[in-house]
Structure 1
Amino acid sequence: MADHLTSKRQFYAKNNNYFFASSLFTGMISFFISTPTTANSVEITQAESGNIPDQTMTVPYDFKVSKYTGKRDHFKLFYDWKWDEQDPFKEYAGFRPGDYHIYLAERTGLNWKNEIQYKKIRLVKPEDRNWSATKEHHQPFNVTHSGKIVGLYMGEWGVWERAYTADYIAANNITHLFYSFVGICDYERPNATENNGLDIQFGKDSRNKAVMRASCGQGLAPDQHDNLKGDLVKIGVTKKQQDFEISPYDYLAYPHLLDSIKAMKKQFPHLKGMLSIGGWTLSDPFYDMVKTPERQQTFIQSIIDTINAYPGVFDGVDLDWEFPGGSGLSPNLTAGYVEDRENFTVFVKALRHALTTEFGSSFQLTAALSASPAKLAAVDLNALKDDFTFINLMTYDLYGAWGKDPAHHTGVYAKPIAGAYNVEGNATDELGNIILYNGQPVSLTKVMRNYSAEGAVKTVQQLYPDFPMAKLTIGAASYSRGWQYVKTKAQHAKLYWHGKAQQWSNSNSKGLGNKGTFEFGVSDFRDVYDHFMQEDTQFLYYDRQAESAYIWQPHTNLNNDNYHYAHVEAFDSPRSVIAKGKLIKKYGLGGIFAWEAQTDNGLILNAMNAAVCNPLQDGGYYQFSQAYAGTVTSQVIASDNKGNPTKVRETLHGSEVFQFDGKTFCDTTSPGNRPPQVNITGPTQAKANTTVTLDASQSTDPDGDQLSFEWKIPSGIKVDNTQLNKISFTTPAVQQDTIFKFGLSVSDGQTNVQRLWSLQVTTTSDPGKDCNKDPNAKNYPAWQPNKTYQSGTKVSYNFLVWQSNWWNSGNEPGKTEAWKLLSKVILSWHASKAYPADSIIHHQGTRYKARWWTKGEEPGKASVWQSLGKHQCFIPNANGF
């Protein structure tokens, strides 16, 4: 099966859609012990950086990826069917998951196609597994000690050529395991995407698209010779799925891996299993799925059905749409970042409500979001702060072999000056719309100058001040991104971000990337560690300012007095992961996660636990050391009148040994006081003379300080005690719909955080005098908020007749588009409701018609509303929406 590491690739540099408002960080983590030797400094301006002439390099015919898997145990899914004359579907042997089993395997070599060959040893036994985190470089931690999230994505494709199944997951050392990925069926409707991202990623002749279609029951599955012969519906492997229902991509691996996760969770009850949907290659249908409520409900019901079909496996859903606003793998699918943002908000709220109704409020909902502010601007985290359990910020893939300007792909801090910053214009979405950052266009120069993990966090802070920092996790990458030929000026050798990647080619292919492990430009951390970080570290460097490791392996036969050439790879190492831990402490983040399981030898996951101050299982603290051929520090020595660095002094220090002690780290890197994380829940609309509760009891303090609360109550509302974390009151009678604004101040003794809460109180009317009343309503059952309604169901509510537009529960008729009004009356205008063009409403005794889509614009005051004269109760064929 094909490798899917690129399902997380974000192609930021290719699309120029990034901006981070991060400050530059030039210091070193002081408690680390290092022994640098000699140093050499150079000065470089922004104009000089990256100003390198292009050329094409020739590589040998057999230039190919290494397929290195290391000395770990190999667990592989093998075809294992025994001939059975009584089998009614024996001609379909090989198309059924039951025909395969997981074996301990031995790697025997590579065939002429450069494919890894394995032989079976025996079926996997419980004692073979790495769930207790004792194999390779894994060490067992007390993962729940810190209360922080330690998440891990697991790609299902590892069961084949990589020979990496869930049996090798260090379950003891993680809090969340993200099963990656299931896809979305989309084949029958007009202009269906047909998951064309698979063609773009793997080529139109690959088997990948046929496998996905077959998993959806929309076509035949390919055999080992790519002949389409497997009718999965006929043999009961799957059923025919509707468009926008979810489906596993790899129907053979899926049930085996889910069985392993269920057993893993039984042994380690702390572990949460997460169903991750989409990813880089399978995100195409998201764009159209969110456009209509009907499609959203099909998708949501399919998620619920999938979770119920595998009890004991999943504790949450992870949305991995890459990306709202576009600039993902497949072009021109977005409706624009503004519309995608609105659709995504409505969809997430509907999904959260459905998951809570079906599984309870503790069932988790997460999303993996791009670290690019252009993408973050397309997801309204303020509006969704109560809907998401947490957000995984993909703080990696910042640079890669899709672009000629190299830099740290998962750096904690941005470089002051780099060749990548020589760009012009403003950031735009895929349709050319200028992206607004807090209402203002953002220049690409400013974008690139602040491209980092800290920048992503600060972007969320600035765009979405209501979103709790404790609901953010940042990502570690257990793989490198690199270039085979980076060319720098001779005096800038080893300072690769001032260079330029050169195109290479041969008779088979061309590109920018280094050889890589399973694809050009990407190396597994295990591969990097075994070849560059153990005994021979002569090409290993560390950027102390950016907090990132890198390889500089010179092509000495090409170097001359003017230019130097090198194979370069940038990557997360245990040292940079610890630096991300300091970032977690600084901002009070919720934790850390990694992409992805099969590329790590245990050292990245160990460092993730140490970074959030989880002790070892035996009560001790994690320690490690690492030797480097050299380290780099950066100092800004000139800036322009806008504060942008224009000149930097780069200092290349000599060999150094870095040492880490977990106890010292956790005892001495306590941040200063962090502000409380305020979380208010409650209704935003209520009728007069009803009881309302506003609840801030879920507010937390990242330092564990005791919180105090003070509510500011608007005139007309009576609250007995304003110094509680939860207040209840009765809404007053009002002559017309009225908005009451509440203030809340939360203090930890040092810092006060203020929040506002708006509550619209609507009038109550006597149904006997209210003309919005249908005498036929008594013939239908009353709507119940806790009941689930199928499409087409008719109910009565507020003396009117309504019909369900799709499967829904808890959606109040008249307040959402889940219900269609059948009664031929005109409803009153509500500020919180959206109205399409031509909608007719009444407001303060007058009928109005919407000229175009509107929300929150009051009739009689806004030009969007056309007056139709005095209000009448019953209008034939009136549109209440």
Structure 2
Amino acid sequence: MFSIYDIFYLTFFNSSFSRSEDFLLGTYIRTWPLGDTEEEISKGIYWKGDDLNLKRVYKLNIAFGLIRNGSEIFIPDVELGFDLKSEVKKLKEKYKDLKVIISVGGWGAEGFSDMANDPKLRAEFCANAKKMILDYDFDGIDIDWEYPVGPDWELPIKTRPEDRENYVILLKELRDMLSNLSEITGKNYVLSVAVPASPWFLQKNDVVAVSKIVDHLKIMSYDYYGAWSSTTGHHANLYNNPKDPAWGGWSTDQAVKLYLNVVPSEKIWVGVPFYGRGWKGVKNENNGLFQPYEESIDAISWDKIKELINNGKFKRYWDDVAKAPYLFDGDTFITYMDKEALDYVIDYVKRYKLGGIFAWEYAHDMKGELLEYISSKR
């Protein structure tokens, strides 16, 4: 006999994957002001639904809702005046098939471990999630708990060994809530999770149980390199370059294959970044790749990377082993993803029959150029 989870799974995937596309496409979009720097963000300019290009996009994740008072879900910039509800309404009127999902969590988002460990707080959280879904006409919820149980290195949030079991229980209770809500509204609601592209997560968490509950797992296949790294490197390479000095290197291919061992391929979504990372004072050898540096640079949007390419100061290089581009001007190195790199990811997703591609995040590419490019290849 089918459980309620099996019934929802069959209903959702029979309807979703009867479409003509090879994979589904999604993107996150921020709830805080636009811009890369503190100065830009301080201007308080938010995105408008009329300005977004989401044609043929299946899912838009609103990032992020946070947890406070044990179980309450809130969006800080909504409380500061961002009229998110109005913008979501505009999007849903313009794109009739678009799923708009509330993502709860994000890096450094506290409250999950205590909430999931308390049956009363879990029930309140599910009720609050239901209320938010109805208030905003959202189409589901995405849990970006970063991370349950936690790796061996220190996280900025509380974790406990019981997170392994509580993570699964929380997701089951959210699925129950969404299934019950479906009976009332007649709509199918999405439940998804964001997961790291790292082996430790599968070792410490019951990913098999999680995969049986959620509609898809979004692998955050980026940030392999950054300010924490001892050298420059690729932050979203598809394949591993054996010359990579960091732990022998890591890649999206390696991460996906770990998950394919325990998760159905159609439930796996691959993440692509619409931003780059950079370093200054880079040693001028090997075109700056895998070299020591003096200073790191914060995330750089695709919009700004295009400007750097067009002004002619930087030269673009291509690592054909890793299938990753980078820029170097003799001092500054920038790792990023462009259309050529996306082509390889798209082919990879099709080859392994993965469920989708998602981007972090739309505000780094406000014209929707890369998102539209991915969509054109489906």
Structure-2-length-normalised TM-score: 0.86
Residue 608, structure 1, aligned to residue 370, structure 2: no
Contact 2:316/2:325 (8 A) holds in 1: yes
Match of 1:166 among 48, 71, 78: 48
Q: Is the 8 A contact 2:110 2:157 kept in 1?
A: no
Task: Find out whether 1:482 has 2:278 as its counterpart.
Answer: yes
8 Å Cα contact 1:550/1:571 also seen in 2: yes
User: Residue 245 of structure 1: which of 72, 76, 91 is its match?
Assistant: 72
**Secondary structure, aligned partner of 1:307:** helix
Residue 260 of structure 1 aligns to a residue whose secondary structure is helix
State the 1:145 CA deviation: 4.3
Q: Please show how residues 804-843 of structure 1 align to structure 2 within 5 Å.
A: none
Give the drift of 1:330.
4.6
Which residue type is aligned with residue 47 of structure 2? T
* 1:496 to 2:289 alignment: yes
Return the letter of the residue paired with 1:349: K
2:321 aligned to which of 512, 527, 545: 545
1:148 to 4, 19, 23: 23
2:166 to 339, 343, 361: 343
- Which residue number in structure 1 is paired with residue 296 of structure 2? 513
Question: Aligned runs of 1:788-807 on 2, under 5 Å?
Answer: none
2:10 aligned partner? none
Q: Name the CA distance, whole Å, in 1 between partners of 2:157 and 2:171.
A: 23
The question of whether the paired residues in 2 share the 8 Å contact of 1:248 and 1:254 is answered with no
Match of 2:3 in 1: none
Question: Partners in 1 of 2:123 and 2:356 — Cα distance?
Answer: 32
Tell me the distance in 1 between the aligned counterparts of 2:201 and 2:334: 26
Q: Give the Å deviation of 1:267.
A: 2.1
What pairs up with 1:507-586 in 2 under 5 angstroms?
512-514=295-297, 521-532=298-309, 534=310, 536=312, 538-554=314-330, 566-586=331-351
Of residues 117, 121, 127 in structure 2, which corresponds to 1:301?
127
CA contact (8 A) 1:274 1:317 kept: yes
Distance in 1 of aligned mates of 2:156 and 2:48: 33
Cα drift, residue 269 of structure 1 = 1.0
Residue aligning to 2:251: 452
- Return the match for 2:144 from 310, 320, 332: 320
Match of 1:185 in 2: 68
Where structure 1 has 5 or more consecutive residues not aligned to the other structure, the ranges are 1-143, 187-242, 422-447, 503-511, 515-520, 555-565, 615-881
The answer as to whether partners of 2:237 and 2:251 remain within 8 angstroms in 1 is yes
- Quote how far apart the aligned CAs of 1:295 are: 1.7
Q: Distance in 1 between matches of 2:52 and 2:154?
A: 29
For 1:588 and 1:411, locate their aligned partners in 2 and report how far apart those are by CA, in whole Å. 19
* Offset, 1:378: 3.5
CA root-mean-square deviation: 2.2
- C-alpha distance in structure 1 between counterparts of 2:86 and 2:157, whole Å: 38
The code of the aligned residue for 2:111 comes to: P
CA contact (8 A) 2:313 2:329 kept: no
Task: State the match for 2:364 in structure 1.
Answer: 599
Per the TM alignment, residue 303 of structure 1 is displaced from its structure 2 partner at its CA by 0.5
How far apart, in 1, do the equivalents of 2:323 and 2:44 lie?
30
Give the direction of change, closer, same or farther, for the CA distance of 1:260–1:606 in structure 2 (3 Å limit): same
Q: Is the 8 A contact 1:326 1:332 kept in 2?
A: no
C-alpha separation between the residues in 2 aligned to 1:148 and 1:169? Answer: 21
Q: Displacement of 1:375 after TM fit?
A: 2.1
- 1:540 alignment partner, SS class: strand
Relative contact order, higher structure (CA 8 A, sep 6+)? 2
Find the counterpart in structure 1 of residue 182 from structure 2: 359
- The Cα shift of 1:602 comes to 2.9
Question: Which structure has greater strand proportion?
Answer: 1
Distance verdict in 2 for CA 1:342–1:272, change over 3 Å: same
Residues 413 and 546, structure 1, Cα contact 8 Å, conserved in 2: yes
SS of equivalent to 1:300: helix
Match of 2:355 among 571, 586, 590: 590
CA distance in 2 between counterparts of 1:363 and 1:292 reads 25
CA distance in 1 between partners of 2:81 and 2:197 (Å): 29
Conserved 8 A contact 1:280-1:329: no
4+ residue segments displaced more than 6 Å: none
Q: Distance in 1 between matches of 2:104 and 2:54?
A: 21
Change (3 A) 1:170 1:378: farther
In structure 1, what is the Cα distance between the partners aligned to 2:202 and 2:371? 27
SS at match of 1:350: helix
Change (3 A) 1:323 1:354: same
Distance 1:260 1:418 in 2: 43
Tell me the CA shift for residue 480 of structure 1.
Answer: 0.4
| Alpha carbons of structure 1 residues 145 and 169: separation in structure 2 relative to 1, 3 Å | farther
Any idea what the Cα deviations from partners look like across 1:352-400, whole Å, max 9, x if unmatched? 1111112348211011111112123333232133311111111011110
Q: In the alignment, which residue of structure 2 is the partner of 1:333?
A: 158
Q: Which runs of 5+ in 2 are unaligned?
A: 1-18, 35-40
Letter in 1 for 2:286: A
The amino acid that maps onto 2:299 is V
CA distance in structure 1 between the partners assigned to 2:351 and 2:143 by the alignment: 27
The 2-side partners of 1:155 and 1:388 are apart by: 23
Match of 1:274 among 79, 97, 101: 101
- CA positional deviation for 1:568: 0.6
Instruction: Compute the displacement of 1:419 (Å).
Output: 2.2
Q: 1:297 to 1:254 in 2, by over 3 A?
A: farther
* Alignment check: 8 A CA contact 2:178 2:189 kept: yes
Q: Which amino acid aligns with 1:501?
A: Y
**Equivalent AA in structure 1 for residue 149 of structure 2:** G
2:214 to 361, 384, 388: 388
- What corresponds to 2:14 in structure 1? none
Match of 2:227 in 1: 401
CA distance 1:172–1:550, shift in 2 (3 Å) = same
CA distance in 2, matches of 1:495, 1:484: 10
Q: Once the 2 structures are TM-superposed, how far is the Cα of residue 546 of structure 1 from its aligned partner?
A: 0.5
| TM superposition shift of 1:329 | 8.1
Q: Is the 8 A contact 2:59 2:99 kept in 1?
A: yes
Change (3 A) 1:524 1:459: same
Deviations 1:162-193 (A, max 9, x none): 7341332212242111111111013xxxxxxx
Cα-to-partner distance string for 1:522-569 (whole Å, 9 max, x where unaligned): 11111011121x362752111111111111111xxxxxxxxxxx2111
Q: What residue identity is the alignment partner of 1:540?
A: R
Q: Given the superposition, is the C-alpha separation of residues 275 and 291 from structure 1 closer, same or farther in structure 2, using an over 3 Å criterion?
A: same
CA distance in 1, matches of 2:224, 2:340: 19
Task: Please give the per-residue CA displacement for 1:859-879, whole angstroms capped at 9, x wherever unaligned.
Answer: xxxxxxxxxxxxxxxxxxxxx
Distance in 2 (CA, whole Å) between partners of 1:332 and 1:260 is 31
Counterpart of 1:334, as a letter, is T
* Aligned CA distance change for structure 1 residues 320 and 329 (closer, same or farther; 3 Å): farther
Q: CA separation of 1:578/1:169 partners in 2, compared to 1, >3 Å: closer, same or farther?
A: same
d(CA) in 2 for partners of 1:147, 1:166: 30
5 Å-filtered alignment, 1:415-814, equals 415-421=241-247, 448-449=248-249, 451-462=250-261, 464=262, 467-487=263-283, 492-494=285-287, 496-497=289-290, 499-502=291-294, 512-514=295-297, 521-532=298-309, 534=310, 536=312, 538-554=314-330, 566-600=331-365, 601-610=367-376, 613-614=377-378
Amino acid in the other structure paired with 1:268: Y
Structure-to-structure mapping, 1:3-22, within 5 angstroms: none
* Greater radius of gyration (CA): 1
User: For residues 543 and 253 of structure 1, what CA distance do their matches in structure 2 show?
Assistant: 44
Change (3 A) 1:585 1:148: closer
- In the aligned structure 2, how far is the partner of 1:486 from the partner of 1:280? 28
